Amino acid sequence: SVYAIPQLPYGTHKIEWTVTQNGEEKICAYQFNVKDCKKPTVACISGLSVNIIPTQIVALWNTDFLQYTEDNVTQTDQLQIGIRRSGTGNGFPLNPDGTPQVFVTFFCPNDLGTQYVELWSIDKAGNAGFCETYVIVQDQMGICGSPNTGPGICVKTACGDVPLEEYVVDITGGSPALPPIGIFTPPVPPDANGCISITIGPFGSNYLAMPVKDNDPLNGVSTFDLVLINKHILGLQPLDAPYKMLAADANNSKSVTTFDIVELRKLILGIYTELPNNTSWRFYPADHVFSSPNPFTTPVPNSDTLSEFPSFKAVKVGDVNCSAIASSAQAPPEDRGLAALDLPDITLAAGQTIELPLRVASGADWLGFQFALETDPDALEIEMVLPGVLPDLDENTFAQTRPGLLTVSWFSSTAQYLPAGATLLTLKVRARKATVLSDAVRLVSQRIPPEAYTAEERIQSLQLFFAPAFSGETQVFAPRPNPTSGAVSIPIRTVQPGAVELMLSDLSGREVFRQVFRMEAGLQEMKVPAEAMTQGGVYVWRVMAGDVVHSGKLVRL
What are the tens digits of pLDDT across the range 478-490? 787 778 888 888 8
Q: CA–CA separation, 19 vs 29, rounded Å?
A: 12
* Phi, psi (deg, nearest 5) at residue 513: -160, 140
Q: What is the DSSP letter of 272?
A: -
Per-residue pLDDT of the chain (557 residues; tens, 9 = 90+): 566 677 777 778 888 888 888 878 888 888 888 888 899 999 999 878 888 876 677 888 999 999 999 998 889 999 999 999 988 888 899 887 678 899 888 877 778 888 999 999 999 888 999 999 999 988 877 767 644 445 578 999 999 999 998 888 887 776 554 555 555 665 567 888 888 877 554 444 567 888 999 989 999 999 999 999 999 999 999 999 999 999 999 999 999 999 999 999 999 999 999 999 999 999 999 999 998 889 999 999 998 887 667 899 999 999 999 999 998 888 766 656 778 898 888 888 999 999 999 998 878 899 999 999 999 999 999 999 999 889 999 999 999 988 899 999 999 999 999 987 889 999 999 999 999 898 899 998 878 999 999 999 999 989 888 866 555 678 788 787 778 888 888 888 787 888 999 999 998 889 999 999 988 877 777 889 989 998 889 999 999 988 888 898 998 88
Cα distance between residue 521 and residue 497, in whole Å: 5
Element housing 248 (H / E): helix 242-248
pLDDT digits (tens, 9 = 90+) for 6-59: 777 777 888 888 888 887 888 888 888 888 889 999 999 987 888 887 667 788
Q: How far is the C-alpha of 361 from the C-alpha of 9, rounded, in Å? A: 59
CA 334 – CA 349 distance, rounded (Å) = 43
Contacts of 99 (CB under 8 A, 6+ apart): none
At residue 231, the 3 state secondary structure works out as helix
Per-residue confidence (pLDDT) for residue 295, from 0 to 100 = 95
Length of the chain equals 557
Supply the angle between the helices 258-269 and 223-234 in degrees, to the nearest 10.
Answer: 170
Reported as type and span, the H/E element at residue 115 is strand 113-122
